[in-house]
């Protein structure tokens, strides 16, 4: 059985926790898009892991971990991730495979990301400054890109880096009056990346297809969320990859029809980091309550997350474009204690009601939410194990979301720990 886990909102839905739980029954976990902009939290007993590039299955000692072709690999973050796990006696030797076709994020990408954001001032996108946009731009542009396979021939790479650095320095000087980057510094780092990472680097597409033929069970781990998808999200306030379920086949070379189940992950409310329209945002005491109770601060950047009500229009859209089979609804516990809860069931845009999410930031910014108000609950639900033991108002809230999204909610999160999870 192969499954794909994908975020249905603007990221941070709790994908890491779900992947970690489901990895127990999987042989292989595959990261297929994005880069170190992701921050997936996995909690195992007293240990808390923030995974940025390594798949969330990596904390389980027997799980094979694959970083597929469309991931942009920041070697520094990856090496640090491998070392952090090693300090906890979790080794990735013999069970980590990095695609030789994955593109490499280098220092000049992060510098370019930062300079561009600074230059945009109040119009900035609010990126994670992890070099994601510039690295994917170089990939699409082709002439100035570095792939993992390029680390195999350091002499050839040195010449390539020289031409890239000459080009980048012209841009840095002309557009930003910034200090030049030094090619020798980048090259020295690449030598150390080659030393530490080439032993993991291989043809992951061949590996995945062989594994499927051998009957192995694969879990595909999405990063970011569907509404941050480059082509189908709230452009330009998106990331630079196809972070919806649509990115899975292209991201790892495995067709979607080889996946038995697409599981979408959503919070019982909505959060967003970075700029862009957010119709259900509660920039008030309700948003503040959710932020503090849900610890809604970025795993990667520490930024406070913007918080708001559950948006059935956005989640239904993500579920539709991703042909999602079922939903995991996380952070139900965070809503406990509110007086009442609102669910956005439709938008009104230019006087017209719609339930289809407009993936056009200008139209979306005009959306007025049409809410349905439902009662909340006061009981502590963090130890509940069975759906029917949830307060009736919590059960009704879940059922109402199922009706609006037309998808079954099969997993419910009632706390950050592995065992704070209800299966239906």
By annotation, the residues acting in catalysis are: 12, 40
- Chain-centroid distance of CA 161 in Å reads 30
What residues contact 209, with CB distance under 8 A and at least 6 apart? 253, 254
- Least separation in angstroms between residue 299's CB and ligand IMO is 6
Beta bridge partners of 382: none
Partner interacting with residue 125 (select from ligand IMO, Mg ion, ligand GDP, none; CB below 5-8 Å by kind): ligand IMO
Binding-site member from 99, 127, 266, 280 for ligand IMO (CB under 6 A): 127
Distance, CA of 7 to CA of 264 (rounded, Å): 6
By CB under 6 A, name the one of 8, 9, 17, 115 that touches ligand GDP.
17
DSSP H or E stretch at residue 47: strand 47-51
Which of ligand GDP, ligand IMO, Mg ion, none sits in contact with 405, Cβ below 5 to 8 A by type?
A: none
Helix 107-120 and helix 154-176, axial crossing angle in degrees, nearest 10: 10
Which among ligand IMO, ligand GDP, Mg ion, none contacts residue 90 (Cβ within 5 to 8 A by kind)? none
How many residues line the site for ligand GDP (CB under 6 A)?
A: 23
Q: How far is the CB of 115 from ligand IMO (least distance, A)?
A: 14
3-state secondary structure of 94: coil
Task: Map the footprint of ligand GDP across residues 311-350, applying CB under 6 A.
Answer: 330-331, 333-334
Q: Cis bond leading into 21, ω under 30°?
A: no
- Spell out, one character per residue from 204 to 233, where the chain touches ligand IMO: x when CB under 6 A holds, - when not: -------------------xxx--x-----
Could you tell me the end-to-end alpha-carbon distance of the chain, in angstroms, rounded to an integer? 19
Q: Which stretch binds ligand GDP (CB under 6 A): 13-21, 78-86, 145-153, 198-206?
A: 13-21
What is the secondary structure of 220-236 as a DSSP string?
EE--S-GGG-TTTSSTT
> Buried (b) or exposed (e) across 127-140, using 16+ Cβ within 10 A?
bbbbbbbbbbebbe
Residues 18-57 close enough to bind ligand IMO by CB under 6 A: 37-40
Please state, in angstroms and rounded to a whole number, the distance separating the CA atoms of residues 9 and 224.
Answer: 8
Q: Where do contacts with Mg ion occur on this chain (CB under 5 A)?
A: 12, 39, 299
Q: Where do contacts with ligand IMO occur on this chain (CB under 6 A)?
A: 7, 10-12, 37-40, 125-128, 130, 132-133, 223-225, 228, 239-240, 273-274, 299
């Amino acid at each position: 059985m192969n499954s794909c886990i994908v975020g249905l909102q603007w990221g941070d839905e709790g994908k890491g926790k779900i992947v970690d739980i489901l990895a127990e029954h999987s042989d292989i976990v595959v990261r297929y898009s994005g880069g170190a902009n992701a921050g997936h939290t996995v909690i195992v007993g007293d240990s808390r892991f923030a995974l940025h590039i390594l798949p969330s299955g990596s904390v389980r000692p027997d799980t094979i971990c694959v970083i597929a072709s469309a991931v942009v690999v920041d070697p520094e973050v990856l090496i640090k991730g491998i070392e952090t796990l090693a300090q906890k006696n979790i080794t990735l030797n013999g069970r980590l495979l990095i695609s030789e076709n994955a593109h490499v994020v280098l220092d000049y990408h992060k510098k370019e990301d930062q300079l561009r954001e600074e230059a945009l001032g109040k119009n900035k996108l609010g990126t994670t400054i992890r070099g994601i946009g510039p690295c994917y731009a170089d990939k699409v542009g082709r002439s100035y890109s570095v792939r993992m396979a390029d680390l195999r021939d350091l002499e050839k790479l040195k010449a390539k880096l020289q031409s890239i650095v000459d080009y980048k320095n012209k841009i840095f000087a002309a557009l930003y009056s910034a200090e030049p980057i030094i090619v020798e510094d980048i090259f020295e780092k690449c030598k150390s990346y080659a030393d530490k990472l080439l032993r993991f680097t291989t043809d992951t597409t061949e590996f995945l297809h062989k594994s499927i033929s051998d009957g192995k069970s694969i879990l595909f781990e999405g990063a970011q969320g569907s509404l941050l998808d480059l082509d189908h999200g709230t452009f330009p306030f998106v990331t630079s990859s196809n972070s919806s379920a649509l990115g899975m086949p292209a991201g790892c070379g495995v067709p979607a029809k080889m996946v038995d189940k697409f599981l979408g992950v959503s919070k019982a409310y909505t959060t967003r980091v970075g700029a862009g329209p957010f119709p259900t945002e509660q920039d008030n005491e309700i948003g503040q309550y959710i932020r503090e109770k849900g610890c809604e601060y970025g795993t990667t950047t520490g930024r406070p997350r913007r918080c708001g009500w559950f948006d059935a229009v956005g989640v239904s859209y993500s579920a539709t474009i991703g042909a999602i089979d079922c939903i995991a609804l996380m952070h139900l516990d965070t809503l406990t204690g509110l007086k009442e809860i609102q669910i956005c069931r439709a938008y009104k845009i230019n006087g017209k009601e719609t339930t289809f999410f407009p993936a056009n930031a200008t139209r979306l910014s005009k959306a007025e939410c049409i809410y349905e108000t439902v009662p909340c609950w006061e009981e502590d639900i963090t130890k509940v194990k069975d759906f029917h033991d949830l307060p009736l108002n919590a059960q009704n809230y879940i059922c109402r979301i199922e009706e609006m999204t037309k998808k079954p909610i099969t997993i419910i999160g009632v706390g950050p720990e592995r065992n704070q999870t209800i299966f239906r």
